[in-house]
Structure 1
Amino acid sequence: MLAELFADAARGCRESSPLTHRLLTDAAADLVSGGVTSKVMAGAECDRQGTVPGLRFAGAVHRLVLEGRAPSLAKHYPSVGGQPHLPTLWQDALPALHAHADELHARIAATVVQTNEPGRSAPLFGGLQVAAHEAAKAAGRHVPFSVRLLEIGASGGLNLRPHHVGYRMPDGTTHGDADSLLVLDPRWTGLPDVDLAHRLRIVGRAGCDIHPVDVSTEDGRLQLCSFVWADQLDRWNRLRDALDLAAVDPVKVQQASGPEWLAQHLARTERDVLTVVWHSVVWQYVSPADRAMGRAVLADAAAKATPTAPLALLVYEPRRTSAPEKYQFHLLLKLWPANLSLHLGHGAGHGIPFTWEAKPWS
């Protein structure tokens, strides 16, 4: 039932975004009563949970606010300078929903959730350092490998430049690029057991997505901004900085299905380069058939990996915890031909904060 999917999405952001929680809770009730949300969401009644229709609804409404076309709502949205007043939020949302119902319906039907959270570059940076060092150790090298980074479900490609981001540590040092337009406070507990001061060298990078976002356009930037919960200003500011960085260091994301694209890129190997396949918070959106095909493509490439042209899989994906409706996000690494499997740590869905805790991954 669609109202239950809205309620489930609302529960998922209850602690981290009171504004989105209240909007989706009231929208779920409106769906049950046959209100305007039913018109906006018409045709989505059979959507599966993984398509998160509630977050698509919230993103479409936020976009109206960002475009200055929902003045009754703007006063509640910190992303445009407002201050939430939750008791009157839904009443102030109704004029926008009625005025733009057809447009909202079309946008929600044609849109998939695209957060492309740049905070995930922090665990990615640490994970790449571990992978480059461990691959070198397995090959008997003293210098960590250079990296070729391949991202599946790359969205707008904001996490394809981890070597151009600064990572500010509690002791005042900054790893990565201290002069970057994007400097993160990763809020790490512990550290990866490698030399983070070593310069991470990425010699190739590419990404694919079924629905890529072109962040060189205003439409693409608005799409990503609309999916940031409007009362999370730290994420909002982080995204704006990441978009500024992307403007001076562009990487085009190819529109393609993951398995075919991955097979094409893994068919080519480079000597003295570690190829890293990376994805983050994308697995829930991948069909079972594509999951199986992707595993087969990776297994074939892993069987052909050599000490001088190693292969790694690095993922940051959610797992349900023992607490109801709670998820924890795990950073996992597999390395071939070393046959090394590590659980590197866990953190929040947006990559910050993160706890480093290396142990075997079975």
Structure 2
Amino acid sequence: MLAELFLDASRACEARSPLTHTLLVSAAADLARGGVTARVMAGAECDRHGTVPGLRFAGALHRLVLEGRAPELAEHYPTAGGEPRLDTLWDAALTVLHEHTDELRTLVTTTVVQTNEPGRSAPLFGGLQTATHLAAAEAGRRATFPVRLLEVGASGGLNLRPHRIAYRVDGTTLGDPGSPFTLDPGWTGRPPVDLTHPLRLVRRAGCDLDPVDVSTEDGRLHLSSFVWADQVARFERLQAAVALARLDPVPVRQATGPEWLAGQLARPERDVLTVVWHSVVWQYASPADRAMGRAILADAAARATPKAPLALLVFEPRRTHTAGRYEFRLLLKLWPAGLSLRLGTGVGHGIPFTWDTQPWD
């Protein structure tokens, strides 16, 4: 039932976005009684859970606000300079839903959720540093390996330049001190390696089923619309990441993950650590693509050598013992070393993050 999917999405943001939570709870009630939300969502009645129709609905409304075409609702949206008044939020939303029903329905039915969170570059940076140090030790090298970074489900590619970000950690700047994008990673603990060592990315590439071109205003608005509108710091972080991406473009190819990865991993690359990376993507992949991706990675791992190592670095949710709760784990596998580590845990947006290296079974 569509209303239940809206409520499920509302629970996921209840603690962190009262605005989105209130909007989705009200929309679910309106759906159940056949109100205007049902007309906006027409055609999405049989959508599966993984397509997150509630967040597509919230994103469509946010997009109109960001474009300046929903002034009444904008008064409630901090990303547009407003102040949330939760008791009257739904009344303002109803006005927009009635005035823009057809356009909102088109947005909902033609877009996919894209939360290209640049905050995930913080655990990625630490994970890459760990992987390069471990691979160098395995190969008997004094210098760490340069990295070839391959991202599956890259969206707009905002996490393909972790070496170009300035990370402020306890008064120290890691990464690129001259970067226009400064990030407070919110770390507890540290990776057990020298983080001041320069991280060298010599090649970067990404794929996505629906890549977003962040060099365009349409692409920027698309990603911005999926930020919860009362999370201003997260919104500003995205704008800074988009600005950096425009200065340092990395094209994202439209392709399925297994198809693309098979081509990228066809031959080992000597004197480079190849890292396959993905974050909050696994839940959207079909069982067939998951199986094929595992097989392709296993085949590439069998060809890895100490001088042409391969790593899998992922930041994905795992259900906890608390009902309905997930923790996001940064996991690393390294071949041919045979290492398998859980580097730490955090929240879905990558910040904050706690480093705690343990074996990953």
Aligned equivalent of 2:279: 280
Aligned-partner Cα distance in 1 for 2:231–2:177: 24
Aligned equivalent of 1:69: 69
Aligned-partner Cα distance in 1 for 2:351–2:27: 29
Q: Post-superposition shift, 1:44?
A: 1.1
Aligned-partner Cα distance in 2 for 1:264–1:349: 29
Whether 1:134 and 2:134 are equivalent positions in the alignment is yes
Aligned equivalent of 2:217: 218
Aligned-partner Cα distance in 2 for 1:85–1:257: 42
Aligned equivalent of 1:104: 104
Q: Could you tell me which amino acid in structure 1 is paired with residue 345 of structure 2?
A: H
Are the counterparts in 1 of residues 268 and 303 from structure 2 also a CA contact under 8 Å? no
Aligned equivalent of 1:28: 28
**1:110-136 CA distances to partner (integer Å, 9 max, x unpaired)?**
111001000000000000000000011
Are the counterparts in 1 of residues 151 and 206 from structure 2 also a CA contact under 8 Å? yes
Secondary structure in structure 2 of the residue aligned to 1:238: helix
Question: Can you give the 5+ residue segments of structure 2 that lack an aligned partner in the other structure?
Answer: none
Secondary structure in structure 2 of the residue aligned to 1:103: helix
Secondary structure in structure 2 of the residue aligned to 1:198: coil
**1:49-101 CA distances to partner (integer Å, 9 max, x unpaired)?**
11110000000000000011111101000001000000000011111101111
Aligned-partner Cα distance in 2 for 1:54–1:323: 23
Q: Could you tell me which amino acid in structure 1 is paired with residue 136 of structure 2?
A: A
Aligned equivalent of 1:164: 164
Q: Post-superposition shift, 1:271?
A: 1.1
Large movers: runs of 4+ above 4 Å: none
Aligned-partner Cα distance in 2 for 1:269–1:294: 17
Q: Post-superposition shift, 1:46?
A: 1.2
Question: Can you give the 5+ residue segments of structure 1 that lack an aligned partner in the other structure?
Answer: none
Aligned equivalent of 2:145: 145
**1:164-203 CA distances to partner (integer Å, 9 max, x unpaired)?**
0011001x11100111111110010000000000000000
Are the counterparts in 1 of residues 206 and 251 from structure 2 also a CA contact under 8 Å? yes
Aligned-partner Cα distance in 2 for 1:110–1:76: 26
Aligned equivalent of 1:312: 311
Q: Post-superposition shift, 1:261?
A: 0.2
Aligned-partner Cα distance in 2 for 1:249–1:17: 32
Secondary structure in structure 2 of the residue aligned to 1:56: helix
Q: Could you tell me which amino acid in structure 2 is paired with residue 100 of structure 1?
A: H
Percentage identity across aligned positions? 72
Secondary structure in structure 2 of the residue aligned to 1:135: helix
Whether 1:351 and 2:350 are equivalent positions in the alignment is yes
**1:232-266 CA distances to partner (integer Å, 9 max, x unpaired)?**
01101100100110111011100000001000000
Whether 1:88 and 2:88 are equivalent positions in the alignment is yes
1:176-215 pair list within 5 angstroms: 176-215=175-214
Are the counterparts in 1 of residues 181 and 244 from structure 2 also a CA contact under 8 Å? yes
Aligned equivalent of 1:18: 18
After superposition, the CA RMSD in angstroms is 0.6
Aligned-partner Cα distance in 1 for 2:149–2:315: 15
Aligned equivalent of 1:250: 249
Are the counterparts in 1 of residues 268 and 300 from structure 2 also a CA contact under 8 Å? no
Aligned-partner Cα distance in 2 for 1:200–1:22: 43
**1:13-55 CA distances to partner (integer Å, 9 max, x unpaired)?**
0010000000000000000010000011111111111111000
Aligned-partner Cα distance in 2 for 1:270–1:91: 58
Aligned-partner Cα distance in 2 for 1:324–1:303: 38
Q: Could you tell me which amino acid in structure 2 is paired with residue 220 of structure 1?
A: G
Aligned equivalent of 2:50: 50
Secondary structure in structure 2 of the residue aligned to 1:142: coil
Aligned-partner Cα distance in 2 for 1:268–1:306: 12
Whether 1:5 and 2:5 are equivalent positions in the alignment is yes
Aligned equivalent of 2:332: 333
1:119-130 pair list within 5 angstroms: 119-130=119-130
Aligned-partner Cα distance in 2 for 1:286–1:181: 34
Aligned-partner Cα distance in 1 for 2:358–2:228: 33
Secondary structure in structure 2 of the residue aligned to 1:89: helix
Q: Could you tell me which amino acid in structure 1 is paired with residue 48 of structure 2?
A: R
Q: Could you tell me which amino acid in structure 1 is paired with residue 121 of structure 2?
A: S
Aligned-partner Cα distance in 2 for 1:281–1:181: 26
Q: How many residues are paired up? A: 361
Q: Post-superposition shift, 1:269?
A: 2.6
Secondary structure in structure 2 of the residue aligned to 1:205: strand
Q: Post-superposition shift, 1:220?
A: 0.4
Aligned equivalent of 2:297: 298
